[in-house]
Structure 1
Amino acid sequence: MFSNQHRYSGFINPISYAVDLLVINLFAYYLPINFLTPILFHTYISIIWVIISFKNEFYEVYRYTKVTYILKLLFSQFLFFFLTLYAFIGFFKQPNISRFVLGQYFLLVGLSISALKFLNYVLLMKYRERVKGNLRNVVVIGKNKKTEQLIDVFNNRAEFGYHFVKQFCPKDRGFDIQKTFDYILIKQIDEIYCSISELKNSEINEFINFADNNLKTLKFIPDNKNIFAKKLKFEYYDYIPVLSLRDIPLHNPINSFVKRSFDIIFAIIVILGLLSWLTPLLAIIISLESKGPIFFRQKRNGIDNKEFYCYKFRSMAPNQDADRFQASKNDMRITKVGRFIRRTSIDELPQFYNVFFGTMSVVGPRPHMVKHTNEYANKVDKYMLRHFVKPGITGLAQIRGYRGEIEAEADILNRIKFDIFYIENWSLFLDIKIVFQTVLNAIKGEEKAY
């Protein structure tokens, strides 16, 4: 019901990043520029490229991006690259560097990366146009001049990769908003485009809530109507303005790449430095107290609501209620060793294997049991938004005291509030802050760590 079949192509931009960095460093290696310390230059130029790219949003090229915008990106990128490239000579006192060869290096890098960028852009467009791959299924709500223009863009610009499925007219007598929602779910629609002028404020709110709760992308075709006090993002499909309601930082491939890199590095450190010796030790201790497996695995819901197995050190005696009931205070199922490893969060450490293999992240909304996801999805507004990103070993809600057993409705409501804030305001620094606070909380001990 909640699955999203056509997620963003998260590997394209990280691969482009890696190829560009390879080009930058290969030309520096083979050209006779006469560096005193080549390693210093390679490090400097790589870091500078990443910083300039991040500031210029150089890799944020979307399916509807115009060629003129790419040219603007290239000009801005290489202007700053040129200045920082020659700044290296004076800043690091490199008198032997050939200015002429450095100029050749700049031109070769500029031409190569520009060619690669346009090649990537053209190949992706041809792939969508001819192979019909990487498509988004879309519906349009409204019937007026602007919606007709947008539908023309969807139908005539096949290279954008949008598959127009159906148009709904709210002004028709037979229009039923619930039937529209049912159709969107049945046909596995990815994106909904609404004409604001044809919807009542209450209907706009219904569409917002539906999209949030069912992992659908919702966009608006604007007019002069003041719809809501939200930070909105303008995009242009050909020359048609479109408003995006929610901007999720981790849907940016560069941010996703940064987070995944952080996850892999962190997971490797924990697996090699801690789990390599702690696992056999705990295996002996757990086995001595109660018979059963060392690890406990449980199906939980992850990104796009896909199910995966979440791993823990077993802290309970084997029982049939493990997949139905959360651990509660003074739970008789918990063993003596289990009580200690739960209180110190040691039982969660095997989830770093989940992180390493990509089903979880170090930081993110905590994954819930499948039973609880099905229950809360129908009861808690915007609950499904937490599945826009990978679940985490720890999260913002957990360091704010909302971990463990859900005893009252306020617990789940506050947990969702913090999860949504994290999703909409992610940064690497926020992840690091949450990790540090989690470690401090584990050392101090937490009230609900049982």
Structure 2
Amino acid sequence: MQDALSQRVQGWTPFFVVVDSLAVTLSFWVASIISQVLPPEAVFPTLVPSSKEGVLLGLGLCGLLLHSMIWLREGYIYKLISGRSVGICASQVLFMAVGLFVYLGLWRDYMVSRKLLLVNLMLLGPALWFGKMTFMAVLKALGTRIQPRLRILAVCDETSEKSTKQWFSNKKMLGIHLCDVLSMEHGGHHDTFINKHLTDAVGRDRPNLLIWRLPTDAPRTERIRQIAESHGAHLAVDMQPIVGDKAYLHMSDYAQMKLISLHNHPLVSPTHRLLKRLVDVMISLPVVLFVLPVLSAGVWLVHRRYSPGPLFFKQNRSGADGHGFQIYKFRTMTVNHGKEAVQARANDSRVFKGGALMRKLSIDEMPQFLNVLKGDMSVVGPRPHMTEHDALFALECSEYALRHNVKPGVTGLAQVRGHRGPVDDAQEIKDRVTSDIEYCQNWSFGLDLQIIARTFLHVFSFHAKSC
């Protein structure tokens, strides 16, 4: 369920989608007329496009609606208000254009005018932008007259007063009116503040919604709720002063339990785990059958020339839930150097000639697809560290163990962001762990595909820290 503020803000999204649909329809109609008068087949224009060409309009509207459901959703209005209308229009046009070209390619519909298609795509962006700006101008002119207005009274500490007022400053056009912001002095007594200042302000301003942005407990929250409801106001409690800056916060209702989750873990779902495992097998199986044998032969020749010895290097690493497993890599260092736990660095004397290039191109990582096929690893996930390093890194970052909630990966979000190679300081550890936890809590099939695609670009960029 959504609170009153979310209902008011997000409730405007369908209106903007309707405006976008009208803009798409208008741009198609104008493009139809322009395309008829353009040479070489210039004719007297007809105002009604043919049913054959009307398919383009239908596909464009379907693409627009699909884009709104997938990409915009709750953040549509926030993006518009923050001045990102051009970016939204560009993504909408791109989405519709891909859909149109896919349709033309699959059905090879040569009866559709290419002039109409080109002119329509040229007009879509300006039409969408003009429609949004016009509707926002109307809202700015009429927003303060929208009834019933959502009247809000916010309570916060002195440090948050300015940011609270600033957030509401551009919401008037949505029919949102900030009655007042009550700020409590640092070290002030909550009960005295509630009984005197809050009660007076609620009775004076008669808000629809009271937003409490101070730390609270169950008895105090109940007292605030009673005051708000006795004056016909709903209560919304800001959890940030209680739980801190968490990227994820979700409330679930289970019979007698109301759980506020501070972490998301999408890979707990059996469906998601099965999908990820299918992708792992579909990628790793061809690599193991067709790519790895060829690479093994080439690496064996390099070993014979520069450093005879075992083809593979095996080492114990930490996997999902902290369980250990043996990782496979092509050997790039001399045999029996006795310093397996020491991280490799640039110009490391242990790396033989030819081994450095394999490390630069990540060829030494390719045998890890055997681990993926066995189920010890995934194609995408947090990189597995040596058990000795796990203990050291955990001392620097208290959230380190959260990255063990999923299988380690051949590549990961931290790696495509440039966090690879030796770890030099505590900040480097924190950066990697932050990216790993972000991946664990925001996993999706699309994110995996994006990381895989970025990995190919990253490998051939010869990252400086790849040693």
Instruction: Give the TM-score, by structure 1 length.
Output: 0.49
Larger RCO of the pair (alpha carbons < 8 Å, separation 6+): 1
TM-score norm. by structure 2 comes to 0.47
